[in-house]
Amino acid sequence: AKKAGRNCFAIYTEALSRQLDERMEMESELRQALSKQEFALFYQPKICLKSGKTIGSEALLRWIHPSKGIISPLKFIPLAEECGLIVEIGKWVIGEACKMAVRWNQVGEHKVAINLSAKQFQSETLVADVKSMMEATGCHPDWIELEITESLLLEDDVDVLHTLKQFRDAGISIAIDDFGTGYSSLSYLAKYPIDTLKIDRSFINSIQTDPQRAGLVKAIFSIARCLNQSVVAEGVETQDQLDFLTDLDCEYAQGYLFSMPVNAESLEQNKEWPAVV
């Protein structure tokens, strides 16, 4: 028994050290990914349900790894946050998204949504960084929107409020991402300058099978109307889900039913949106 125990331990430490090796390797590769230009933004169209038109898109980060292929942000963003790289990567995202917003708004109205991680939001230079990227690219504040998560509002922090107010003053709109998964109170929703609520995919998922969740989605629409906020339904995958949302007068939706996130070139080919020449 003792021997087996020792073997188990050996296997365990071996697995653990392999995990650590992989992590360190990924971290050092991540440090170089920016200069090697291995990042790319994909864009998922946001659809106005009344007109069926693409009115904007969400920029979603991808790491095009030379040997591992396309790596999901879910895999490397937590690591980038831990080692502080997220601020620099985030700046690249903001600059790239602004550049595309400028390009696309020459052709039609198209708001590009940019995801900000909590760490990035807490960076003291965030507002200045966004403004300088907009200036450098000639991006108008109406052409972008910032997506932040609900957990930021929980901190009831004067800095969070101050940062949001600075964006509001600059004319940049703010969306609350994954809405419904955190526990933000109604008073926070009224207190912070928020333009859009994005209902989390998990609610849309079970909208037809779970009457309680469907009820909550209805309640979210009422709250948003009271607060003069617009609502985007995320992760719409089926026609039935879309029908349900249309019955609730949902204005905007995103999801695989309409399109997967695609590269910029493919987005420009989107027939519901004027082509870029």
Nearer to ligand C2E, 99 or 201 (CB): 201
Nearer to ligand C2E, 60 or 224 (CB): 60
Q: Check binding of 177 to Ca ion (CB under 5 A).
A: yes
Residue 61 binding target from Ca ion, ligand C2E, none, CB below 5 to 8 Å by type: ligand C2E
Nearer to Ca ion, 29 or 236 (CB): 236
Q: Check binding of 115 to Ca ion (CB under 5 A).
A: yes
Whether residue 271 contacts residue 251, with contact meaning beta carbons closer than 8 Å, is answered with: no
- In angstroms, what is the minimal distance from the CB of 58 to Ca ion? 6
Q: Contacting Ca ion (CB under 5 A), which of 29, 145, 150, 178?
A: 178
CA–CA distance, 144 with 196 (Å, rounded to integer): 13
Whether residue 124 contacts residue 157, with contact meaning beta carbons closer than 8 Å, is answered with: no
Nearer to ligand C2E, 95 or 235 (CB): 235
Nearer to ligand C2E, 39 or 273 (CB): 39
- In angstroms, what is the minimal distance from the CB of 97 to ligand C2E? 8
Q: Which two tokens stand for residue 219?
A: 């309640």
- In angstroms, what is the minimal distance from the CB of 115 to Ca ion? 5
- In angstroms, what is the minimal distance from the CB of 137 to Ca ion? 21
CA–CA distance, 103 with 110 (Å, rounded to integer): 10
- In angstroms, what is the minimal distance from the CB of 36 to Ca ion? 26
Residues that bind ligand C2E (CB under 6 A): 44, 60-61, 72-74, 77, 93, 115-117, 177-178, 201, 235-237, 254-256, 261
Q: Contacting Ca ion (CB under 5 A), which of 29, 96, 145, 147?
A: 147
Residue 45 binding target from ligand C2E, Ca ion, none, CB below 5 to 8 Å by type: none
Give the range of 73-81, 214-222, 227-235, 236-244 binding Ca ion by CB under 5 A: 227-235
Site residues for Ca ion per CB under 5 A: 115, 147, 177-178, 234
